[in-house]
């Protein structure tokens, strides 16, 4: 018995997708459309979208914050998992990418659950805090500029309820966080975030080696 994973995740990835991914034409189409963008790597992995939809249902989320929407894959997955009267606040600054997202929300019949705020996410979140919306959200997904993860985290922590969940994307950053030779701004920010979360007693955490590393933090 080993206390570390002995799985070769790369060689098993095809098997994992073949035996667990419940795909559909709309998700497929969005992945194909996004793949033509030079920054397509910013899209979350398909099994991650499915996992996040499962989390939405598991915690019975009704109100969600997304920081970083891009072309809408994660928001599409989460919005579909929300109940009909669910609400997803999407924060992004890019009109072109989110125009693609809007098109897919329409096609999926979930546009009525989503409010897109085209503005710096920190401003959008601060406005909600100032309006007294503390503890009003059940889940937050943070997947935007890495330098501001710490700031988004503090804001989301105020806006989600106790027992609510914050999901951080890219926490393993293609392995760069663990490579002392890599010291660019984004890598350092993610490294600091991981270090900070390890000791932050306001949350329970788990860092999953799925996709590019996903940290789940439950607000105590």
Q: Which residues bind Ca ion (CB under 5 A)?
A: 143, 169-170
End-to-end Cα, the chain, rounded Å:
33
Q: How far apart are CA 13 and CA 165, in angstroms?
A: 26
- In the bound complex, what is the minimum distance in angstroms from residue 169's beta carbon to Ca ion? 4
Nearer of residues 34 and 170 to Ca ion, judged by Cβ: 170
Closer Cβ to Ca ion, 66 or 138, answer by number: 66
- The backbone torsions φ and ψ at residue 23, rounded to the nearest 5 degrees and listed phi first, read -90, 165
Instruction: Indicate the residue whose CB is closest to Ca ion.
Output: 169
Which residue, 137 or 141, has its beta carbon nearer to Ca ion? Answer: 141
What DSSP string describes 66-111? Answer: EE--TTSHHHHHHHHHS-TT-EEEEEES-HHHHHHHHHHHHHHT-G
What minimum distance in Å lies between the beta carbon of 136 and Ca ion?
25
Question: How far is the C-alpha of 194 from the C-alpha of 197, rounded, in Å?
Answer: 5
Nearest to 190 by CA among 209, 174, 166, 206: 174
What minimum distance in Å lies between the beta carbon of 209 and Ca ion? Answer: 15
Judged by beta carbon, residue 163 or residue 185, the one nearer Ca ion is 185
User: Rounded to the nearest whole angstrom, what is the least distance from the CB of residue 43 to Ca ion in the complex?
Assistant: 8
């Amino acid at each position: 018995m080993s206390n570390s994973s002995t799985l070769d995740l790369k060689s098993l990835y095809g098997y994992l997708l073949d035996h667990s991914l419940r795909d559909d034409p709309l998700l497929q189409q969005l992945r194909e459309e996004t793949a033509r963008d030079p920054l397509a790597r910013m899209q979350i992995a398909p099994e991650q979208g499915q996992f996040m939809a499962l989390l939405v249902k598991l915690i019975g989320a009704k109100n969600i914050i997304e920081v970083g929407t891009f072309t809408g894959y994660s928001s599409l997955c989460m919005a579909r998992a929300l109940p009909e009267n669910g609400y997803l606040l999407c924060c992004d600054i890019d009109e072109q990418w989110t125009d693609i997202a809007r098109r897919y929300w329409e096609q999926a019949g979930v546009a009525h659950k989503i409010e897109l705020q085209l503005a710096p996410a920190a401003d959008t979140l601060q406005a909600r805090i100032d309006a007294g919306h503390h503890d009003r959200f059940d889940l937050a997904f943070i997947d935007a500029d890495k330098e501001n993860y710490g700031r988004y985290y503090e804001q989301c922590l105020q806006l989600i309820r106790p027992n609510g969940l914050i999901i951080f994307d890219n926490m393993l950053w293609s392995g760069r966080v663990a490579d002392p030779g890599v010291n660019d701004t984004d890598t350092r920010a993610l490294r600091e975030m991981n270090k900070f979360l390890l000791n932050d007693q306001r949350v329970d955490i788990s860092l999953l080696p799925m996709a590019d590393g996903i940290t789940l933090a439950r607000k105590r």
